[in-house]
Structure 1
Amino acid sequence: MKEGSTLSQSESNGTAGQQVVDTEEQERIVAQIAKELSLSLKQVRTTIGLLDEGNTIPFIARYRKEMTGELDENQLRNIEERTQYLRNLEERKKEVVRIIDEQGKLTDELAAAIARAVKLQEVEDLYRPYRQKRKTRASVAKEKGLESLAEWLLSQPKQGEPLAEAAKYVKPEAEHPVESAEEALQGAMDIIAEIIADDAAIRAWVRAHTMDRGLMVSEAKTPDEESVYEMYYDYREPAKKMPSHRILAMNRGERENLLKVTLEVETEPILRHIAGKVIKGRSVTEEVLKTAIEDAYKRLIAPSIEREVRGELTEKAERQAISIFAANLRSLLLQPPVRGKIVLGVDPAYRTGCKLAVVDDTGKLLEVAVTYPTPPNNKKREAAAKFNELIGKYGVELIVIGNGTASRETEQFVAEVIAERRDRELAYLIVNEAGASVYSASKLAQEEFPDLDVAERSAASIARRLQDPLAELVKIEPRAIGVGQYQHDVSQKLLDESLKNVVESAVNHVGVDVNTASPALLSYVSGVNATTAKNIVKFREENGRFQNRKQLQKVPRLGAKTFEQCVGFMRINEGKNPLDQTPIHPESYEVVNRLFAELGVSLDQLGSKELAERLSSLDPQELAARLDVGVPTLRDILDSLQRPGRDPREELPLPIFRTDVLKIEDLTPGMELQGTVRNVIDFGAFVDIGIKNDGLVHISQMSNGYVKHPMDVVSVGDNVTVWVLNVDVKKGRVGLTMRKPAGIEA
């Protein structure tokens, strides 16, 4: 898109929005976003243009760095989100102006105020007096002809008497009768109360004041009833300081009818502020106006402002919870694959037995079985025989146990099996099986394993999670992968959008082997939808392995735009062109040819130590001009050429393998342990140390210094050294610390 061009309906086919946007409006949006995100006008304008042309975030972030000034995915998504919001806001402004104008009530001042608004709430506040309302006390009073009485009261005369003036409006025989002066005065006060309540400036001030000074208060509906919300049975905290997990916990307790939650704020300062805006000085109607002001606040303003402020707090809390879930999910998806191992996956259970699945080092299913080593069956001898048979038959090197029901009893049994075997190295580990049952019952799992029952599919999935977490986890609905907090209490639409973006980002960060990837994995590649993903697999099955990236253009419904967006993230190992196994986009192959010609080397040398060393010594800044390419793109090309076929996940530490089980009774304060972070939340992190329940490292125990948020210190999948802080055997809780206790040598 050229700078300053108009985005027509046909041009606006990207994710940033579909509305018709004129040049002036577009520039207003660009300026607003640039200011909010501290970016240049050019960066924002260019990014919006790229999005409107149908480019995806991963593609722009990786292959259009020169155009955007090297904006990362988060910055690009922020631009995308704000563009959509502001375009919707502009559409709402137009609609509001049209409706008010049709009523003949649009003034230049009001139109200018609407145009200046940068939030939807501001527009709605300005529109409020003109919105069609259901029957109110004020509308009834207007039907009785009391508007002019209200105007007299608001004019704040120095002479006269309100009740005497109201007596002029008594009309017992009228179609809408007024029986008394008191009724007329009350009706006029109702009209004034609604005028005050509809004043945009007053509402904005009260809203801000309530957010700044309000207290969130919760109390138990049944104080004697035990529940997980007991800390909130008599609780008060400033609203603006409440962390997201407490807001969401209160909301849930309220929904479950266990808590009564209110937002309290001192009334007197608010009434004084409103009076200062309404009452101009001493008058005969001053006391009547004060009464109307109090009624306006308590009956009309306070209830709706409380809803709005609590809604804003909840929205903020939801976004925080979603961001934590997203960050945890990304860390989980990018766990390093454990390659080259034959794995025995175990889906533990009590009554129905442990389902077993052996997969080879490529993830191919070799055999399934079921054993009953746990209560109530306790057939440990038979189970041990089956385990040993499978281990010996296939050369199993790792046993992977899901962390669901009966996992720790199964772990104890597996540790005993390992201890009795002395002929080979064998280890086990526990993996998070969240979502495995969802996948096992899905249509995708049925197509993949048509001859297996649901639990057997789950065991195979658990085994494969170790071998390639990303490839396996993309088969599961992201929200079913339990690595967040309060994910069921947040906007499911927002959660789904955010998690889909995370999966898309992770898949494109790693890249996919187009010759082995499943349709589920391919569907997250930049520009590829579910139909195209299936077509890629079908083409592969009918025509054999892809030999080069160009062949993707032959896949049905994979057009030129999709090819441009996806091809750089597709890998072809052992293909005809060595560059096809790298993240280098085909549009840059000519740059590589010029580079190699200048260096006097050939593609056959790609992957050699000598070439890598030579490439690492080059100066991208100096070389870019000669090769007619941008410096950021050249840096990426040189990095890709030095490590062709590299999987970025392989730089991360592997999970902790165990050979023996630990019981909570074995723990003592001060004991040093190695653990794996399973979940990060606002107030700490849960760490798997090899006992039944994960231990908690509270945020205060993560560092000797100040920690703003646990994610600044740890991520899901991190291997950490911890020390036991306290043990509650009865409740099965363990407190851990990452702060080395005094007296322990480094």
Structure 2
Amino acid sequence: MDTNQAGPAAEEALARQEQETITQAIAKELGISVKQVRTTVGLLDEGNTIPFIARYRKEMTGELDENVLRDIEERLSYLRNLGDRKKDVLRSIEEQGKLTQELQEQILKAVKLQEVEDLYRPFRQKRKTRASVAKEKGLEPLADWVMEQRRQGQPLEEAAKYIDAEKGVESAELALQGAMDIIAENIADDPTIRSWVRQYTASQGILVSEAKDAEQESVYENYYNYREPVHKMPPHRILAINRGERENVLKVGIEVTADKIHAFILRKLVKGPSPVKELLEAVTEDAYKRLIAPSVEREVRGEMTEKGETQAISIFSGNLRSLLLQPPVKGRNVLGVDPAYRTGCKLAVVDDTGKLLEVAVTYPTPPNNKKREAAAKFKELIAKYGIQLIVIGNGTGSRETEQFTAEVIAEIGDPGLAYLIVNEAGASVYSASKLAQEEFPDLDVAERSAASIARRVQDPLAELVKIDPKAIGVGQYQHDVSQKHLEESLKGVVESAVNHVGVDVNTASASLLSYVAGVNATIAKNIVKFREENGKFTTRKQLQKVPRLGAKSYEQCIGFLRIPGGDNTLDRTPIHPESYPVVDRLFRELGLDVASLGSKEVAEQLQAQDAAELAVKLDVGVPTLRDILESLQRPGRDPREELPLPIFRTDVLKIEDLVPGMEMQGTVRNVIDFGAFVDIGIKNDGLVHISQLSGSYVKHPMDVVSVGDNVTVWVLGVDLKKGRVSLTMRPPSGNDGGAK
């Protein structure tokens, strides 16, 4: 195993072989070609980012999308770490002088970290155990004798040979017990046995949940006397029970038929009739109950938790992406309202570019109820700044504020004036942050929050990237999962959304710029500083002068940075500067002028081109040319503009107004495993259960709806006492309805 002795050439050959093995494993697992994986791994190892590879290296990867590229990156990291762990384990066993050819092959063939750890378990340094104490007393030969299972000889007679008062072995019974402890540990450390028991427990075990205090009221009452097969438990239920256990409300365990496990171990252990058969039966029971069952239960529950966490992170990630890509409400001056009771409603007026114009505070809600003064202030600001949209955060006092706002709108009587309720999750986190203090040094926390709420509709992406993604409440059980994994996943989602939309380098904040491919926090701040000191960027090339933005970073980021109104029209498109010569050849081929870009005639001419045929003439890959043609048809296009705007409201609906069968328009606020919560304009969002999302089978709600979708729903039921509304997207007529 010591590759150093074989020299650098052999070491390099071994590394190449390991890499090829990893490449083939990923290709098989993801159902793509080895060439695609090999190329992607090469691009990643060269320091290329996922968004850059997905957008600008399509010919090389065979047009793999971002999701597949991230899967490759994740599996590559796992398998490389697995390879490193194998080397550490082999080195450790070899140093103990216990590495056999068979064991080495087993470790090298392992495809999961758990398999490697199972194989290493017998050789790992252990804390003091009953078995290690027995070995110190010299009882290992007696354990070996028992395992030989001779037809002659009595166990106690053999054990008597090991009586040694000085070593603490004062009787044959104690000697035999020590030997059995050694055998029990060997059984527990056997990788084949552990693997089988783990698989059996996962497939046949029953998770049992009980209340620690059955009289105690809690949100976990459904699980006070609960049983469900381990393999059937949905992710959200796993995390709910975990939380109940962590909060010391539930006692949780896995029940499994031990007899079948004992029988399996005995089949592995017993060679035939012998005087020690009963001893082996007893030691098998002890090994399972004392050593195997507790650790295997922990491992199985760990796997269950991982399953729950993976799903929760996936849900949060999907919802977050939908939220980040909500269409911006452009061209309107907005009045943002951060509602409250005692401290009043903070108001912030921003113009159509998001610039803060004025802040104020009013007290229309209890306990102050100064509605007349508040209405006067609202009307004053609306008239002064030509407000067309009032945006209210959905926090404390939001519905009372909504009622008041609807009354003010009715009094004004302007058909162009409406209001909107937005999810204010994370606004308080942002308002208290250093970033918010730098942005609004003269405002207090609540006033900053009102400004953030107003800007959330003008450009959701630009505003939400200022907030820690975990603080944006569009998930389920996000606080119960591995925060490291959640953070990594959400960072990838934000990065993906930002690069999908593109960033105006002359208006973007450092927060937004830091998510652009190839740009870190330092470079982002340097871009803003350079812009402040030298004025607006007029060409993409100028970014090469930004400190710390080297050639590699420039290559990765520049296609995602836009310069609207710059010297070169192409600088406002997603076309990478490396492809500008292709565009020149394209213009000459089609007889076009760059000045005519954006016209209907040019767009139609570009759309009519056969990309495959043209690519040959221009000596460029078809995917790249296809993207270029699309970008030139609508230069400066924001992909979010194709999505429907949120539903604007002018009047308030109360839960008491609802009756079953009523048809309504709503906005999806959150999608979870068992359905979707929809804002229909009442205090609490209504729930569309997964069974009511469609007339046909729905595997997961995300297959049907996304956060931000405007949907048609019908009221199924109303629970006035609990303030709950159940909805359906299955129209009473039986016709298809749903997301619009």
Scaled to the shorter chain, the TM-score interval is over 0.9
Kept in 1, the 8 Å contact 2:695–2:736? The answer is no
Matched, 1:654 2:645: yes
Structure-2 separation of matches of 1:97 and 1:422:
79
Tell me the CA shift for residue 424 of structure 1. 5.1
Give 2:281's aligned amino acid. Answer: K
Unpaired runs of 5+ residues, structure 1, are 1-18
Structure-2 separation of matches of 1:312 and 1:552:
47
- Residue number in structure 1 paired with 2:7: none
Give 1:413's aligned amino acid. Answer: F
- Residue number in structure 2 paired with 1:66: 59
- Residue number in structure 2 paired with 1:179: 170
Q: Deviations over 1:569-595 (max 9, x none)?
A: 011111111111100000000001001
Give 1:126's aligned amino acid. Answer: L
Check 1:20–1:697 CA distance in 2 against 1; reply closer, same or farther (3 A cut).
Answer: farther
- Residue number in structure 2 paired with 1:234: 225
- Residue number in structure 1 paired with 2:263: 272
Structure-2 separation of matches of 1:161 and 1:567:
82
Structure-1 separation of matches of 2:358 and 2:148:
89
- Residue number in structure 2 paired with 1:126: 119
Give 2:238's aligned amino acid. Answer: I
Q: Give the secondary-structure state (helix, strand or coil) at the position aligned to 2:726.
A: strand
Pairing 1:171-320 to 2, within 5 Å after superposition? 171-172=164-165, 174=166, 176-320=167-311
Q: Give the secondary-structure state (helix, strand or coil) at the position aligned to 1:676.
A: strand
- Residue number in structure 1 paired with 2:339: 348
- Residue number in structure 2 paired with 1:32: 25
Pairing 1:353-368 to 2, within 5 Å after superposition? 353-368=344-359
Unpaired runs of 5+ residues, structure 2, are 1-11
Q: Structure 1 segments of 4 or more deviating over 3 A?
A: 742-746
Tell me the CA shift for residue 745 of structure 1. 11
Check 1:127–1:744 CA distance in 2 against 1; reply closer, same or farther (3 A cut).
Answer: closer
Give 1:123's aligned amino acid. Answer: V
Q: What percent of counterpart residues are identical?
A: 78
CA RMSD of aligned residues (A): 1.2
Give 1:727's aligned amino acid. Answer: V
Give 1:695's aligned amino acid. Answer: G
Tell me the CA shift for residue 21 of structure 1. 8.1
Structure-2 separation of matches of 1:476 and 1:692:
25
Question: Structure 2-normalised TM-score?
Answer: 0.97
**Aligned mate of 2:163, from 170, 190, 203:** 170
My pick for the range that moved more, 137-146 or 458-467, is 137-146
Structure-2 separation of matches of 1:247 and 1:214:
14
Structure-2 separation of matches of 1:240 and 1:84:
28
Matched, 1:135 2:128: yes
Tell me the CA shift for residue 423 of structure 1. 4.4
Structure-2 separation of matches of 1:379 and 1:242:
52
Q: Give the secondary-structure state (helix, strand or coil) at the position aligned to 1:228.
A: coil
Pairing 1:315-464 to 2, within 5 Å after superposition? 315-423=306-414, 425-464=416-455
Give 2:62's aligned amino acid. Answer: G
Structure-2 separation of matches of 1:423 and 1:437:
32
- Residue number in structure 2 paired with 1:496: 487
Tell me the CA shift for residue 177 of structure 1. 2.1
- Residue number in structure 1 paired with 2:99: 106
Structure-2 separation of matches of 1:134 and 1:581:
64
Give 1:540's aligned amino acid. Answer: R
Q: Give the secondary-structure state (helix, strand or coil) at the position aligned to 1:645.
A: coil
Tell me the CA shift for residue 474 of structure 1. 0.5
- Residue number in structure 2 paired with 1:592: 583
**Aligned mate of 1:148, from 137, 141, 144:** 141
Structure-1 separation of matches of 2:698 and 2:382:
46
Matched, 1:564 2:576: no
Structure-2 separation of matches of 1:627 and 1:417:
61
Structure-2 separation of matches of 1:217 and 1:31:
41
Give 2:99's aligned amino acid. Answer: L
- Residue number in structure 2 paired with 1:674: 665
Give 1:563's aligned amino acid. Answer: Y
- Residue number in structure 1 paired with 2:513: 522
Tell me the CA shift for residue 425 of structure 1. 2.2
Structure-2 separation of matches of 1:20 and 1:146:
46
Check 1:317–1:20 CA distance in 2 against 1; reply closer, same or farther (3 A cut).
Answer: farther
Give 2:320's aligned amino acid. Answer: L
Structure-2 separation of matches of 1:682 and 1:486:
11
Check 1:744–1:273 CA distance in 2 against 1; reply closer, same or farther (3 A cut).
Answer: closer
Kept in 1, the 8 Å contact 2:319–2:707? The answer is yes
- Residue number in structure 1 paired with 2:81: 88
Matched, 1:468 2:459: yes
Question: Structure 1-normalised TM-score?
Answer: 0.96
Give 1:308's aligned amino acid. Answer: E
Q: Give the secondary-structure state (helix, strand or coil) at the position aligned to 1:22.
A: helix
Matched, 1:512 2:525: no
Structure-1 separation of matches of 2:243 and 2:132:
37
Aligned residue-pair number: 726
Q: Give the secondary-structure state (helix, strand or coil) at the position aligned to 1:222.
A: coil
Check 1:744–1:533 CA distance in 2 against 1; reply closer, same or farther (3 A cut).
Answer: closer
